[in-house]
Structure 1
Amino acid sequence: MKFNVGIIGCGSITRFRHAPEYKANPHVEEIVFYDRNIERAQRLAEEFGGRVAEKLEDLLTDSSIVAISDCSSNEAHHINTPKALESGKHVLCEKPLAISVKHAKIILEAERKSGKKLMIDQNQRFTKAHQKAKEIIQSQELGEVLTFKTSFGHQGPESWGVTKSNATWFFKKDRSHSGVAGDLGIHKIDLIHYLLDDEIEDVHAFHGALDKVDEHGKPIEVCDNVVCALKTKKGRLGTASFSWTYYGAEDNATTIYCQKGILKIYHDPEAQLIMEMNDGSVVKYELEQIQTNDNQTNTGVIDAFIDCIVNDLNSPVTSREAVASLKVVEKILGSSN
């Protein structure tokens, strides 16, 4: 089975993640690119041997396109993803699902009406170290999970974005909405939910724009740092830090503290998962380097999305799970809009 896929939005996430992974998938015949800036779409069509849709409607009405990646900026997800679903396309939507839970409900309604598959790009679930950690936690080899700490930080989106400037949409309240919380934080929120088979319920957080400035030299309109204390429905306690101002190596580490030992995930570049038992013994798993902005490897997201279409499987990251993570982001920001 081979079919065409479409991509809405031709920024860095498309160039470095979606397009190369679609091109490498044996079920994908051709990629059709759409962007409001047609030159961006043309550049990627040339780079990946695809073609360009001049208008969004051209993409949505193209019967050869079975699935669409919504890689538009955050404020457009609740517009583009429902349109794609209602046009009969399966959709992989970039995170966060929407700028608010209220806007996400529009997407969920379109999903329900269309009967099409909707997956959200929470790529941390697909790394070998995180999958192995979930397996160990589920096996109860280390007993119950008691506490956790997690962090995700790098130097900021201005060095990653397609414009390579402080004018990036990530810094704009009307487009990004949630700053680093919705960019990096939502990954770790989803990861904790996934690893612990639990949901964060209570949040106490500090957030602010500590260092980033926009193209006019003014502090950005959204947070560049978040530090929070968390409690899950099952009573686990944890801390989390999300940052666009880690001006050195990227930090993507998580630690899970259990009754009989500790799991350290992505602390050591050589052993991506380390299990330290309370008897002093240590097991090191050498699995794979985590993908970073400087180390582009296959995330497994596109393959999982295509697999659920080809084999009629349930979405591996559901809209319900995405809304659960979005609720936590809203609590972090003190928002109920």
Structure 2
Amino acid sequence: MKKRLSSFVFLFYLSIAFALGQEEKLKLAVAGLTHGHVGWVLSAIDRGDFELVGIAESNQELAEKYAEQYGFSMDLVFKDLEVMLEETQPEAVAAFANTFEHLKIVQAAAPRGIHVMVEKPLAVSLEHAQEMANLAQTHQIHLLTNYETSWYPTNHQAKEILESGEFGKAIKVIVRDGHRGPKKIGVGPEFLEWLTDPKLNGGGALMDFGCYGANLMTWLTNGERPLSVTAITQQLQPQNNPKVEDDATIIVNYPDKQLIIQASWNWPIGRKDMEIYAEKGIIYADDRNQLRTRMAEGYDGFQEKTVELPELDPPYPDPFLLLKAVIHHEIKLPPFDLYSLENNLIVMEILEAAKESAKKGKTIYFD
């Protein structure tokens, strides 16, 4: 535990040093406060790499609660998104509203040349995602999607090992994400209200946690589209999640490999992990920092190695540092990067097919 805390302290000061080393702050606005992860941006207001120029939130009581908690002025808060954008002229918007509103935010920001970063997933549906992509491309803005697992050094190390060829080609990838469920872990009422609403979230656990595996696999395969998707969903906590599924198993088939996504609001312990089964061994990204490898020996023997990885160098461990670096041309994201639009359009294809498969009870084939 002490080692883990030390790495976070080191990362914090490294991030500050990186931010202060940049001459120009990012002018950033926040659209919505109902997403439970909004604390990520509000807690970083004073660190120096961005200036919070405005917040759009119609729920003034919620805005006042956060203003008191994080110490920002209510003068920053606007009830209307478009008014906020016109009056504050941000370079970028971080979306922390419900997922259904992602399209509305891009519709307001893109024509003004304002870049957007949304919390995963990109949209509630493939139709919304495609419209957002068209707007981003037409108006030449960056449209990024933020996932917690994009910061995990274990995932990046796993990809490097796979690409080295040491373990051979990947045959099966299993990604497991989730927790006990939004109500059980005690998310705020404003978050719970839309997270368990099929319109505002696009579904339940399938959307909330199924997106992680699709995002990682699209990155690992450098943008390969699958052949088919088969999904089964369940509602194991009807009392807590009466409108949506809270458990999903998604099988994504490719010509020479398979992805299995296990997304659930029923895990007894919160988890975000990945297993890559290759020709010569297995790569386990157990959590953010612990990576294990097993090189096969004989029938059932293996040599196992475990490493505790340090955090990635800035700007990669922090979504707002990364957003600034991309907009200010300090870095260029590689094709099908975890944050990229082209990656997350394929993610939305997979999620859309998974919802259709679960509803119809059959495999959905891609064109």
Other-structure match for 1:239: 260
Other-structure match for 1:260: 280
Pairwise CA RMSD: 2.6
Share of identical aligned residues, percent? Answer: 20
1:305 aligned to which of 323, 337, 343? 323
**1:274 matches 2:292:** yes
More displaced stretch, 196-205 vs 170-179: 196-205
Other-structure match for 2:140: 115
Other-structure match for 1:39: 61
Other-structure match for 1:293: none
From the superposition, tell whether residues 199 and 125 of structure 1 become closer, same or farther in structure 2 (CA, over 3 Å).
Answer: farther
**1:207 matches 2:225:** no
> Partners in 1 of 2:215 and 2:61 — Cα distance?
34
Could you state the TM-score of these two structures normalised by the residue count of structure 1?
0.86
Shift of 1:196: 3.5
Q: Deviations over 1:184-222 (max 9, x none)?
A: 1101210122123344331111112221425xxxx6222
**1:77 matches 2:102:** yes
Other-structure match for 2:342: 320
> Partners in 2 of 1:13 and 1:288 — Cα distance?
27
From the superposition, tell whether residues 160 and 16 of structure 1 become closer, same or farther in structure 2 (CA, over 3 Å).
Answer: farther
> Partners in 2 of 1:299 and 1:10 — Cα distance?
22
What pairs up with 1:46-57 in 2 under 5 angstroms?
A: 46=68, 47-49=70-72, 51-57=76-82
1:229 partner letter: I
2:72 partner letter: G
From the superposition, tell whether residues 277 and 301 of structure 1 become closer, same or farther in structure 2 (CA, over 3 Å).
Answer: same
> Partners in 2 of 1:87 and 1:20 — Cα distance?
27
**1:284 matches 2:309:** no
1:157 aligned to which of 176, 182, 189? 182
SS in 2 for 1:96: coil
From the superposition, tell whether residues 180 and 23 of structure 1 become closer, same or farther in structure 2 (CA, over 3 Å).
Answer: farther
> Partners in 2 of 1:134 and 1:21 — Cα distance?
30
**1:5 matches 2:28:** yes
Other-structure match for 1:229: 251
Q: Does the Cα contact within 8 Å between 2:176 and 2:273 map onto a contact in 1?
A: yes
1:16 partner letter: G
SS in 2 for 1:106: helix
From the superposition, tell whether residues 334 and 39 of structure 1 become closer, same or farther in structure 2 (CA, over 3 Å).
Answer: same
Shift of 1:274: 0.4
**1:129 matches 2:154:** yes
Other-structure match for 1:295: none
SS in 2 for 1:334: helix
Q: Which stretches in structure 1 are left out of the alignment for 5+ residues?
A: 290-297
Q: Does the Cα contact within 8 Å between 1:98 and 1:104 map onto a contact in 2?
A: yes
Q: Deviations over 1:265-310 (max 9, x none)?
A: 116x8x6110111243222120269xxxxxxxx9522221111012
Other-structure match for 2:365: none
1:62 partner letter: E
**1:175 matches 2:196:** no
Q: Does the Cα contact within 8 Å between 2:37 and 2:96 map onto a contact in 1?
A: yes
SS in 1 for 2:87: coil
Shift of 1:227: 1.3
Question: Which structure dedicates a bigger proportion of its chain to helix?
Answer: 2
Q: Does the Cα contact within 8 Å between 1:203 and 1:229 map onto a contact in 2?
A: yes
From the superposition, tell whether residues 124 and 22 of structure 1 become closer, same or farther in structure 2 (CA, over 3 Å).
Answer: farther
Shift of 1:12: 4.4
* Total equivalences in the alignment: 319
SS in 1 for 2:239: coil
**1:105 matches 2:123:** no
More displaced stretch, 134-143 vs 192-201: 192-201
Shift of 1:17: 2.2
> Partners in 2 of 1:196 and 1:48 — Cα distance?
43
Could you state the TM-score of these two structures normalised by the residue count of structure 2?
0.79
From the superposition, tell whether residues 35 and 164 of structure 1 become closer, same or farther in structure 2 (CA, over 3 Å).
Answer: closer
Q: Which stretches in structure 2 are left out of the alignment for 5+ residues?
A: 1-23, 360-367
Shift of 1:180: 0.9
> Partners in 2 of 1:136 and 1:71 — Cα distance?
34
Q: Does the Cα contact within 8 Å between 2:109 and 2:115 map onto a contact in 1?
A: yes
> Partners in 2 of 1:20 and 1:275 — Cα distance?
36
2:150 partner letter: R
Q: Does the Cα contact within 8 Å between 2:102 and 2:123 map onto a contact in 1?
A: yes
Other-structure match for 2:116: 91
**1:249 matches 2:269:** yes
1:2 partner letter: K
More displaced stretch, 110-119 vs 298-307: 298-307
2:328 partner letter: V
Q: Does the Cα contact within 8 Å between 1:127 and 1:299 map onto a contact in 2?
A: yes
> Partners in 2 of 1:128 and 1:225 — Cα distance?
27
